[in-house]
Amino acid sequence: MKINVNGEGREVASGTLDKVLDELGYGGARVATAVNETFVPAAVRGQTELSDGDRLEIVAPRQGG
């Protein structure tokens, strides 16, 4: 399925948000996620189904000052 990840078109095989994060290399990373501009808490990523054309934003915390 084709989705948009952080503004870039990507082809993914997985159907749920948690599996897509694994597929994209974010498996154990602490990140914030939003699908189609709606925040998705980590606790419900396994139940969050993605569809063709969805827009996924992945934000990782940064350190520094």
| Of the candidates 34, 32, 36, the residue with the CA atom closest to the CA atom of residue 52 | 36
What pLDDT is stored for residue 61 in this prediction? 83
pLDDT tens sequence for the chain (65 residues):
999 999 999 999 999 999 999 999 998 899 999 999 999 999 999 999 999 999 999 998 877 66
**What pLDDT score was predicted for residue 43?**
96
- Paired strand residues for 34: 39, 57
**Gyration radius of the chain over CA positions:** 11
pLDDT value of position 65:
62
